Each structure stands twice: as structure tokens, then as C-alpha cells.
Structure 1
Amino acid sequence: MALPLSTWPWENLGVFKYVLYGPLLAKVIYSREWEDVTRSSWCLHILIICALRGLVHQLWYSYSNMLFLTRDRLICRQGVGFKQIDREWDWDNFLILQAFIASMACYSFPSLANLPLWNSKGYIIALLLHIAVSEPLYYWIHKLLHSDYLFTHYHSLHHASEVPQSFTAGHATLLEHLILSVLIGIPIVGTSMLGFGSTILIYSYVLMFDFLRCLGHSNVEVIPNGIYEAFPLLRYLLYTPTYHSLHHKEMNTNFCLFMPLYDALGNTLNTKSWPLHKEKSSGKNGRIPEFVFLAHVVDMTAALHAPFVLRSFSSTAFRTRFFLIIMWPGSFLVMLVMWVLSKTFLISHYYLRDRLHQTWAVPRFGFQYFLPFATDGINKLIEEAILRADRIGVKVISLAALNKNEALNGGGTLFVKKHPNLKVRVCHGNTLTAAVILHELPHDVKEVFLTGATSKLGRAIALYLCQRKVRVLMLTLSKERFQSIQKEAPKECHSFLVQVTKYQAAQNCKTWIVGKWITHREQSWAPPGTHFHQFVVPSILPFRRDCTYGELAAMKLPDDVQGLGSCEHGPRSSPRMPRWWSDTFP
């Protein structure tokens, strides 16, 4: 049985917990229609403040995970895994709690709901109350929370997160956030009771409080060491992300809220704080990856699935949702900026094992790969990425689906031939993808229809199936390319490779392997009961209700992969690809 104040009252409501904001919203709407608007202004302010506080946490998360900006100043280099993401899923519970507390305070003390817009003297009073009351009180309570009993039953939840993130700042028990609510309220209520309160003061103090909390949990050192060297006293007045990260590693030190002064007075200041801050803020902490995956964005909605956009969204399998429509214009503007700049950006970073595996991305969206005039520009970007990887000492660079398109650059051979002295290995995953497709085929299949047949992936599938005595209808208009593939097969298997030039040729074949995007009209030639296997990007649309559609080829990651917090099109744990291919497929 959970101890009192260790869990949240709305813990079982899931996403419906946001209905708890309903009374505030209803009060705003009701007052605007039937009462004086000023009577409900405090309800509106509470809702706005809650939205802005959530935005502060989100912006800090996005910034700290834009590794093309922050990778050289990271403090903890371990990735954020699914376990931490799930544990912190309801990080914003404290916003609901403090909205309730603020509502009760405004209802009980009407003077708080009718403050002037601005009072400059209030900032001085609030700052003095924060320094003299909130800071030492937090320091004392925080040390108390680290006693055996309270830490085990309350504070350990916050420290369970291995990698500090802005959302970790909000992840704590009900008791801890009740304490934080009091600490936030002391300067606000105290200033208001003395007659110096104002609406802008409340906004600025609460948002700055959250800003500094997120700063400490950001896992990125953003404060230059030169500032502290020029003003040594400042290091006792404002903590750094490095300073707070030491508290999560050595929990008997660095207990302060924002001011290390109280750790110095309480003799709990970690001696590593300043040297480590100097090291992490130098911008020289980057590591050369052993493996780079050169990805690309499929479309503008899929771009919003990047790990640094919305963590909860990117940690689950991608599917179209309503909020993507709202965010689409912003994604479109980003696409235009990337198109204009035409640079190769490191836009995401998957943390695999020891974080020596990285994902870079070419700033091109899926449809741009099919524009004839864009071919040279895309190949130039890919070439720059390969040369950059070669310069910095990357061992292997792998090209994503469209980046190794046969029609684009011959599956990457264009770059290898142009730069024969490359030290970095340029590869792609066609063999593994082909293995996944082949594993999905029924063992008793006798005939398949293959589009994209002369691509490297199609070639591998066709050659393997013909050796299994499976008749392969290869859709291609190029007789020369078909014959070159046919010559690679054993002579006794030549008859199993058949060139076709129209989709009508497959009207009696119920096994389609799609490597080229097909429309509704082209799908209509498939007989009822057809199953569409596919290795095409983007995946084909399921127009036919009398047919079935396979997912894009995927494999289960090894069990020793750690710190991976983003999920693509399939579920997090979907063992579609056992290890049989290593023995049976070349």
C-alpha cells in the first residue's frame, strides 16, 4: 500500500487528467458570456501560466536534445531510454496540483486575484524573500528528504532517472511538489501581502523558477566558465547544470535550490563542482562515433517524430494524429529553411550502447528525392557527409533508404568510385532488409510479383528466390538490367526469373513484393486476397480492403542496446527478425 502523499490522486486517469482543468476553463467561458470578465481573469491567468510553464519544460528538452548544437557540452553522455521516458510520462502532474492551489488561494484571498499589472518594488521584495526564506528552507528540507526513510519512500522516485532532463525536474512525488508549491508561494504571497504584488511579478517569478529548475536538469552545460572566472562571487549565487548533475551522482552534496551559497555554508558543496564545470563548458567533450547512419526525413509530419520534438510522441510508434495538423505549418517552414541552407545537419542522435553510434540526416524530405533537378544537390550533400565522416575518423557510414537509391547514386557506389581512398566504409542495409522480406514470405510460395526489381534490394530478393525455385515476375522496362541480374543466377534457375513490363501480368499472383510506390490503380490489378510485402519509402497506402499489407521491414534491436528512447514505425518490442539470416542468407 502506497504511503500518504507518495502518489497522485489522478494517477489512474491517464490522459483524462487534463479534464481537471475543465472547471477553470468553464469559469472563464461562463464569466465572459454572463458575468464581468474581470471576475474570472485569475482563472485565465492560471491556465496561461500552466501552458507557459509546460512550454518552458518542452523548449529546454528540445534544446538539450538537439545534439547538433549540444553534443560537445553534454554532461551525462548516456541516452534516455524507454524506462525513464515511461517513468516520467506524467511529469506535468505538478502543473495540475499548483493550478488547484492557485485557484484556492485566489478564491480565499480575493486581493490576490485583483493585483495591479506592474509594481517594480515587488521584484526587490520577492528576491529578498526568495534568498532569505525559500532558498534556505529548500536546502534544509532537501537534506531531510535524503534521510533513509524519506528518500526510500518519496525522494528516490526523482533520483531514479539516470539522465537528468527538463522533464525530470517535474518528476517527483505529491509530497515533494506540495513542498515546492509552498516555496514558490512564499515570495509571491509575501510580496502581495506587503502591498507590492503584481500580475507580471507572478508570471516572471513562476516562469523563472521553472526556467532555473530546467536549467539544472538540462544535462547540457550552457553557462560559460569565463563568466565565473570574471565574477567569482557569481558561482555562489547561481548554480549550473554541471553543479546539479553532481547531486544526482553523489547525493550527499549540492543540495541547494539555485544558490550554491547555502551548500558552502552547510559544508555540502562538492569539490568537483568548479573543475567539472570548466571541463564541460569548454565545448571539447565530443566523441568521434564509430558508426554513422545517414538518415533522411520521409515527410513533414514524420519530421515531427524526431526525438527532440515531442518525447512522448517519438517514444511510440509513428501514426498520424490530430496535433500533427496543427504543427504542420511550422514543419513546413523548417523544411524551407533547410532547403535554402542546403547543409548537412546532425539533427538527431540515437544512443546505442556506448553512444559511439550516431544518426546524421540529410536535410531533404522524401518527395524531394523524386525531383529530377534535385538529384545533384542531394548527392552533393551525401558526399559531403561521407567526406566529413572520413575526416573525423568514423569507421562505418550507412546510407538510409532513399540516400542509397539505385537511380540516385547506384546504391552508394558513385561515392566509392569517386573517392577510392576513403577510409570510412560506406554501406547500406539492403542485405538485411532483403532477409526480413524473405523471412516473411510463406514457405510454400511458388510465385511472386516484384516491383523495384532491378534495385540492389530487388536484385538480392530475386536471386535468392529463384534459387529456391520460386517464379519471380520482375517488373522492369530495361531488358539489359534484367538480363544482367539473370546472368548472376545459376543457369538452371534462369527460367524462374521472368521479365514483365505491366502490372496486368500479376493479376493472378497473390504475393506482391513492392519496392516502388504504387497507386490505387496499380494495386487494383492484384487479385483479392493478395498480401503486399514492401520495402518502399514511403510505404504504400492500403487502398484495397480485400487485401492485406505488410509493414516496412524491421528488426529487433539486440538486448544490450541501452539509452534508446525513440521508436519508428513499429512497436518498441517487435521481434520480426530472428537471427536465422546470418546462417542462411549471404
Structure 2
Amino acid sequence: MVSILFAWPWEKLGPFKYLIYGPFLAKALYSRIQEVNMKNTWCLHILIICLLRACMYQLWASFNNMLFLNRNRWILKQGVDFKQIDKEWDWDNFLILQALMASMACYVFPFLSNLPYWDPRSFIVAIILHMGISEPIYYWAHRGFHGNYLFTHYHSLHHSSPVLHPFTAGSASFLEHLVLSGVIGIPLLGTCLIGCGSISMIYGYVLMFDLMRCLGHCNVEIAPHQLFEKFPFLKYLVYTPTYHNLHHTEMDTNYCLFMPLYDALGNTLNSKSWELHKKNRSNSGKNWRVPDFVFLAHVVDLTSALHSPFVFRSFSSVPFTYKIFLIPFLPFIFVLMLAAWAKSKTCLMYFYSLRGRLHQTWVVPRFGFQYFLPFAREGINKHIEEAILRADRLGVKVLSLAALNKNEALNGGGTLFVDKHPNLRVRVVHGNTLTAAVILNEIEEDVKEVFLTGATSKLGRAIALYLSTRRVKILMLTISTERFQKIQKEAPAEFQKYLVQVTKYQAAKDCKTWIVGKPITPREQSWAPPRTHYHQFVVPPILPLRRDCTYGDLAAMRLPDDVQGLGYCEYTMERGVVHACHAGGVVHSLEGWAHHEVGPIDVDRIDLVWRAALKHGLKPVSTLKPKKM
């Protein structure tokens, strides 16, 4: 049974909890419309402060997750997983609570509605009250919450997050935030009761309080150790991320709010605090582990750029879908596109560990449509080549190319780079062998005829050759007789008759199994008979326009259950699911294969790669009945 005052009163409201702000907005609008002098604007100020505070935490969260900027300064070298993200999903509950408490204070003390905008004395008094009252009260209250009963029933939630994150600061029980609200309210109310309060002081103190909370719960050490060496007294006036992180890793030390002075007075100061802080700062740039495997991805379209982990953590932890709230960010996305166009290096997006091996995802700063611009191809290949050479210098063992990064017209499925740099130590992998295996696994054994678009691509060729050996008739859509005949000749003589060239979609009007390897229009889809299933390996996936047909997802596999630190959904994939080309690189790394997987798919290795994937715990995600391979 949940303890009293542990759960939040609006916990069951879900996203509708934000309607609690409705009366504040209504009162602010009423004051604006009806009241001439606009003296009673406290509701408006509460809304503005809540908005600014939410932005403060979001900006700190974005900075914390910008691995391409601060990965070498992370205190704990592990990612935030889905479990922690879900646990901290409602981190902003305390903003609603403190908004309600502020409104109650304005009703009890009417003079708060008529504070001046500026009074220099208010800042001095607020600082004195904070240092002399709020800090010691918080210190002793915090120590109290580490007692057996309070910790077990209340404070353990906050400490259950293994990796500190700005949102961790808001992840706590209702009772804890009631106490914290009192701590933050003492300097504010005290200053006003003394008679020298001001609106600017309220804004300044609250936002500075949040800034310091975010600083302490940030997993990035940003405070230079030279500052504390030059001014030793600062060690007792302001804490650091390393200082507060020690409280979470070695409890019963470092209880202070922001000032280690009270830990020193209470004999709870961790002796390693400053030594560890100096070590974290001194080793900046040296202490990041070289990944064993890198997946080189790309941005699909403009709006999906907001699915990055450093933008909205909660949004990136669920499969990407187009949301209304993305619309106001479209100008930002456009600027981001221009910045990405000028950027010359790949960005580290996220990482996870599997079987003791570090896996990273790097992103080429290019959007999907740019890959189809003839004048942009050389620049894109240059980016990919630089990423491969960088991985080679670092000692990365395997680098896998995402869909458009291995486009045949762009670089021959990675062949361009392997031929240009024959002495690469890093293995370049397009992952298409496993992609083909996933698609083939979805096709039921009793299928006798298949319609295949993108038939002469790497995947189309491999799928056609493989299915022909199962005596499945493949209607290969292509206008190039030369390319068709080339593929047909690769099949054993006895199976060549199962490969049939077609040039129009009408040829598939009686075929209920389509494998789509290139975009198709609604009219082209209309030629499929009812109850057709569309398998696909086209990026982006085709639109599900036919209600009388079913549509498969892009080829994908679920990572093994022992994956650690994964908190990001790969584009439209579910949690823990990655594209098959990504999974193909994972298998290549886990198997320790020493060959490059570039160029045409080796059809004879499809079953081998599939069995290796299953052996290592990767699982197919298709809802169709899988066949045995």
C-alpha cells in the first residue's frame, strides 16, 4: 500500500493535469480584459514563472543529453534507460504544486499582489534568509528523509534513478516536495513580510534555485577545478555535479541543498568530493571509452530531427509520430537544417552497452531529401568517409551504415570506401544481409508468388535469388531487361524460370504478397488485390492507404534483453527495437567477423546471419508467423 502523501493528488489525471493551470490563465485573462489598473496580476506572474522554470529544466536536460558536446565530461558513463525515463515522466508535478501554494499565499497575504517590480534590498535579504534558514532546514530535513522509515516509504523513489539527470531533481514524492516548497518559500515570503519584497526578487530567486538544482543533478561536470583552487572558500558556498553525485552513489554524505558548508558543520562531507571533482575535470577528453560498434545513421526528415534525445527526452523515448506540438518548432527545425548543412562532422546521438561492449549511434548531419540531390552526393560521401576514418583511428571494430548512407547510387553500398581505403581496421557493414533475412522470415512458407519492386537493388536481388530456390515465382518489376537478366543468370539454371520480369503494376493484380523496395503511389497500390500484405524495405515507409490490405513495418529486430542504458527509440521503431541494418552490425560485432559486408549481398550467408542473430538473443518483431530458416 502506498504511504500517505507519497502519491500526487493529480496522478490519475495523466496529461490532463495541465488543466490545473486553467484557472490561472482564466484569471489572468479576466484581469487583462476587465481590470483597468492591472494590479491583480499575480496569476499571470505565476504562469510566467512556471513556464520559465519548465524551460530551465528542459534546457538543462537538452545540454545534459548533448553527447556530441559533453560526452567526455559525463560523471557516470552510462545512459538513462527507459525504466528511469518512465519513472521520471511526471518530473514537473512540483511546478503545479508550487503554483497552487503560491496562489494560496497571495490569498492569505493580499499585499503580495501589489509588490513593486524592483527593490535592491530584496535580493540581499533573500540571500541572507536562504543561507541562514533554508539551507540548514533543508540539510536536517534531508538527513531525516534518509532515516529508515522515511527513506523506505518516500525518499527511495528519488534515489532509484541510477544516473542523475536534471529531471531527476523533480522526481520525488508529494511529501518531499511539500517540504522543498517550504524551503523555497521561506526566503520569498520572509523578504515580503519584512517589507522589502519585489517581483524581480521572486523571479530571480526561484529561477536561481532551479538553476542550482539542475546543476547538481546534471551528469556533466562543468565547474572548473582551478576556480576552487584559486578561491578555496567557494568549496563551502556552492556544490558541483560531482559533489551531489556522490550523495547518490555513496549515501549518508553530502546532504546539503547548495552549500557544502552545512555538510562540513554536520560532519557529513564526503572527503573525496573535491579530489574526485578535480579528477573528472582533469580527465575531460580522456576518459571516454572507445565504442566497439558504431551505427552511422541520418535524419529522415525535418520534423523527425526533434526526435533526437537532446531535444525532448520523453518524446524520443517513444516511437516517432507526427505531433501537433511540433508545429511551433518548424522554424527551429529549418535553422537546424541550415546548421546541419554547414556542419562537417558526425554527431554522437546516443549509446548503450551489450554484453560488455559499448555501442554508439553517430548521425551524419544531413536530411533524407538531401541524399537525392545530385550536387549533394559528393559532400555526403565525404561525411561518411570521414566518419569511417575517424572510427578507424579510434579503434572501433565495426561500423554499420544506415539506409541512405549505403545507397547504391551514392557509394555502392559502402564499396567506395572499402576500395579507397583497403587497409581499414574497422569493418564496414551495410547490414543488408540481416535485413533480407528478416524480410524473408516474414514470408509464409505456403506463398507461391511474390510481386517485388526495387527488384534490381541489393535487397531486391538477394530476396529474388533466395526465393527462387524455394520455387516461389517472383514478379520482378523493372524496365531494365539487362539488369534483370544479369540477376536471373546468377540463379542456378533449374530456378531461373521462377524469376519473371514485369514492367507494370497491373501484372500483380492477382498477387497478394508484395515486397516493396521503392516508393509507390496510391494508384500503384490500387492494383493490389484485397487482403494483400505489403512487406517493405523502402525508406521512408509507404503510406498505408488501403484499408483492405495489411502493411508490414520496416525490417527490424528487438535487441537482447540484457541491453543496458538504452532510452531512445530508433525513429518509428518500438522500444528496444532497431532497424535490421543496425541489428546486422550488432551481430557482425558480436560474432567478431573480420570481413567487410559491402556491395552485393552474399545470398549464401543469409541463413548464417539469421541463425547468428537468434543465437545472440535478437528477436524478430513481425506479427506474422515466422518460417524456419
Question: Which range, TM-score by smaller chain?
Answer: over 0.9
Residues 222 and 401 (structure 1), Cα distance of their counterparts in 2 relative to 1, 3 Å cut: same
Q: Distance in 1 between matches of 2:197 and 2:31?
A: 24
2:292 touches 2:357 (CA, 8 Å); kept in 1? no
Structure 1 length-normalised TM: 0.96
Instruction: Return the offset for 1:79.
Output: 1.0
Q: Which residue in the other structure is 1:105 paired with?
A: 105
The worse-fitting range, judged by mean Cα deviation, of 123-132 and 27-36 is: 27-36
Q: Within the alignment, does 1:420 sit opposite 2:394 as a pair? A: no
1:457 to 456, 459, 469: 459
Match of 1:373 in 2: 375
Between 1:248-257 and 1:508-517, the stretch displaced more is 508-517
Partner of 1:233: 233
Displacement of 1:545 in angstroms is 2.8
Q: Per-residue CA shift, 1:90-119, capped at 9, x if unaligned?
A: 111100100000000011111111111111
* 1:582 alignment partner in structure 2: 611
Range 401-410 or range 442-451, more displaced: 442-451
Q: Secondary structure at the match of 1:350?
A: strand
Query: Does 2:364 correspond to 1:352?
Result: no
Corresponding position: 1:571 with 2:554: no
Partner SS for 1:112: helix
Q: What SS does the corresponding residue of 1:70 show, helix, strand or coil?
A: helix
Q: RMSD of the TM alignment (CA)?
A: 1.9
- Is the CA contact 2:348–2:363 (under 8 Å) kept in the aligned structure 1? yes
Equivalent position of 2:80 in the other structure = 80
User: Which one-letter code corresponds to 1:132 in the other structure?
Assistant: G
Matches within 5 A, 1:96-135: 96-135=96-135
Relative to structure 1, the CA distance from residue 327 to residue 389 in structure 2 (aligned partners, 3 Å threshold; closer, same or farther) is same
Q: Name the CA distance, whole Å, in 1 between partners of 2:9 and 2:576.
A: 31
Contact 1:122-1:196 within 8 A present in 2 as well: yes
Distance in 2 separating the partners of 1:346 and 1:334: 13
Q: Spell out, residue by residue over 1:4-58, the C-alpha distance to the aligned partner (whole angstroms, 9 max, x if none).
A: 2111111111111111111111111222223346244100110111111111111
| Structure-2 residue corresponding to 1:180 | 180
1:288 is matched with 290
- Is residue 2:308 matched to residue 1:340? no
Amino acid at match of 1:346: C
- Specify the code of the residue in structure 2 equivalent to 1:497: L
**Contact 1:435–1:585 (CA under 8 A) maintained in structure 2:** no
Match of 1:156 in 2: 156
Work out the CA distance in 2 between the residues paired with 1:176 and 1:549: 49
**1:74·1:219 contact (CA, 8 Å) conserved in 2?**
yes
Alignment of 1:132-531 (within 5 A): 132-282=132-282, 283=284, 284-341=286-343, 343-353=344-354, 354=356, 356-531=358-533
The farther-off stretch of 31-40 and 381-390 is 31-40
Q: How many residues were matched structurally? A: 585
Deviation, 1:527, is: 2.5
Deviations 1:460-501 (A, max 9, x none): 211111111111112223333323322322211111112223
State the 1:381 CA deviation: 0.7
Aligned pair in 2 of structure 1 residues 331, 575: CA closer, same or farther (>3 Å)? closer
- Contact 1:450-1:458 at 8 Å conserved across structures: yes
SS at match of 2:349: coil
Residue identity in the other structure for 1:246: L
Q: Which residue identity lines up with residue 230 of structure 1 in the other structure?
A: K
Secondary structure class of the residue paired with 2:351: coil
Counterpart Cα distance in 2 of 1:361 and 1:487: 38
Structure 1 residue 575 displacement after superposition:
11
Q: Secondary structure at the match of 2:38?
A: helix
Taking a change above 3 Å as real, the CA distance of residues 372 and 507 of structure 1, as seen in their structure-2 partners, is: farther
Inter-partner Cα distance in structure 2 for 1:46 and 1:135: 24
Segment of structure 1 superposing worse, 233-242 or 469-478: 469-478
Moved more, 455-464 or 360-369: 455-464
Distance in structure 2 (CA, Å) of the matches to 1:177 and 1:34: 35
User: Counterpart of 1:44?
Assistant: 44
> Does structure 2 conserve the Cα–Cα contact (< 8 Å) formed by 1:78 and 1:355?
no
User: Given the superposition, is the C-alpha separation of residues 521 and 398 from structure 1 closer, same or farther in structure 2, using an over 3 Å criterion?
Assistant: same
Q: Percent identity?
A: 67
State the distance in 1 between where 2:301 and 2:290 align: 29
1:374 and 1:323 mapped to 2: Cα distance?
31
Q: What is the CA–CA distance in structure 2 between the aligned matches of 1:253 and 1:75, rounded to whole Å? A: 18
Kept after mapping to 1: 8 A contact 2:435/2:556: yes
- Amino acid corresponding to residue 168 of structure 1 in structure 2: T
Q: Distance in 1 between matches of 2:427 and 2:304?
A: 28
**Post-superposition shift, 1:391?**
1.0
* Aligned residues of 2:476 and 2:500 also touching (Cα < 8 A): yes
Give the distance between the partners of 1:241 and 1:488, measured in 2 at CA: 61
Give the match's secondary structure for 1:211: helix
Kept in 1: contact 2:25–2:44 (CA 8 A) = yes
Once the two structures are superposed, residues 220-270 of structure 1 have per-residue CA deviations (whole angstroms, 9 ceiling, x without a partner) of 001111111111111211111011000001111101111111111111111
Residue 387 of structure 1, CA deviation: 0.6
1:368-395 CA-partner distances (Å, limit 9, x unpaired): 1111111111111100110111111111
Q: Deviations over 1:44-73 (max 9, x none)?
A: 110111111111111111111110001000
Q: 1:163, CA displacement in angstroms?
A: 0.6
How far apart, in 1, do the equivalents of 2:445 and 2:20 lie? Answer: 54
Q: In 2, are the aligned partners of 1:362 and 1:381 still within 8 Å (CA)?
A: yes
Deviations 1:504-551 (A, max 9, x none): 322222211111111223222222332211111111112223322111
Asked if the contact 2:57–2:167 (Cα under 8 Å) also holds between the matched residues in 1, the reply is yes
CA–CA distance in 1 between the matches of 2:45 and 2:413? 57
The CA deviation string for residues 349-379 of structure 1, in whole angstroms up to 9 with x for no partner, is 1323357111001111111111111111111
Q: Is 2:351–2:358's contact at 8 Å kept on the other side of the alignment?
A: no
2:62 maps to 62
CA 41–446 in structure 1, closer or farther in 2 if over 3 Å, else same: same
Contact 2:559–2:577 under 8 Å retained in 1: no
Specify whether residues 324 and 485 from structure 1 end up closer, same or farther in structure 2 by C-alpha distance, changes over 3 A only.
Answer: same
Measured against aligned partners, the alpha-carbon deviations of 1:167-202 in whole angstroms (never above 9, x if no partner) come to 000011111111111111111111111122111111
Amino acid at match of 2:221: E
Cα distance change, pair 427–78 in 1 and its aligned pair in 2 (3 A)? same
- Opposite residue 443 of structure 2, the aligned amino acid is L
State the secondary structure of the residue aligned to 1:448.
Answer: strand
Question: For 1:118-168, what per-residue CA distance to the aligned partner results, in whole angstroms no more than 9, with x for missing partners?
Answer: 111211111111111111111111111111111111111100111110000
Match of 2:597 in 1: none
State the shift of 1:573 in Å: 6.2
Tell me whether 494-503 or 239-248 shows the greater mean CA deviation: 494-503
